[in-house]
Amino acid sequence: MNRTIHAKAAEEICRIGRSLFDRGYVHATAGNISVRLDEGILITPTDACLGHIQPSELAWVDAAGVQQRGLPASKSLRLHRRIYDADPAAGAIIHTHSTHLVATTLRGVWTQADILPPITPYYVMKVGHVPLVPYHRPGDPVVGDHVVTLIGVHAERGTPLRAVMLDRLGPQVWHRTLGEAAAVLEELEETARVWALAGRDVSPLPEARLAELHTVFGARW
């Protein structure tokens, strides 16, 4: 284990956790964060406040899924491991109970395949498709089956996922780095807020504009 890389990853998890907490993207003890390293996964403890987590408290889980140190790992550990296995490009995962996204599932999503319509160019470019995963209790292993299936379907379509929405719980977001995952989460939550404020009958970007974003920026929708 490279202790320098491990320490930097731990500090980054704590920094991102504090930032999300301070800006209202997470609250109380909701949410979890992990980073994949060569030898395993560093993940926040279960029932921990992301705004006050310390590096020494993070759970270190080896490649076999056995926790080696830290406080008891998040109940979402199994889901994180399945996402990492399904998407080799994923290097970090964030789960929150962000207010506007959870409210969207309660009021009704745009479609099951896309919880929000493509109403802004940056949502299309930075987030992409976000399907809804049916409700299951927190930590239910069945959720992993749904998420892995969705990752596979979108990979075959050439529209790789960066997030799914767990019904009544919150978004599960992943990317190459923790900073990139946090950026996707923020864009996703802010788009849900804009959709609520603008009115749910707001028109999505037309197909020609979506095609333009693909041509100019490589956006995959």
Read off the pLDDT of residues 131-172 as tens digits, 9 standing for 90 and up: 999 999 998 999 999 999 999 999 999 999 999 999 999 999
Average pLDDT, integer, range 198-215: 95
Token pair belonging to 139? 């930590």
CATH 1.10.357.10 for domain 3-217, yes or no, is no
Nearest to 94 by CA among 48, 146, 163, 149: 163
Average pLDDT, integer, range 90-102: 97
- What pairing do the DSSP bridges indicate for beta strands 132-133 and 163-166? parallel
Q: Does position 1 have pLDDT exceeding 80, yes or no?
A: no
Query: Which entry of 25, 84, 122, 135 is annotated as an active-site residue?
Result: 122
Question: What confidence tens digit (pLDDT) does each residue in 9-29 have?
Answer: 999 999 999 999 999 999 999
Averaged pLDDT of the chain: 96
pLDDT band at 100 (very low <50, low <70, confident <90, very high): very high
SS3 category, 44 = coil
The dihedral formed by the CA atoms of 207, 211, 213 and 215, expressed in degrees to the nearest 10: -170
CA distance 163 to 123: 12
Active site residue 25: no
pLDDT band at 208 (very low <50, low <70, confident <90, very high): very high
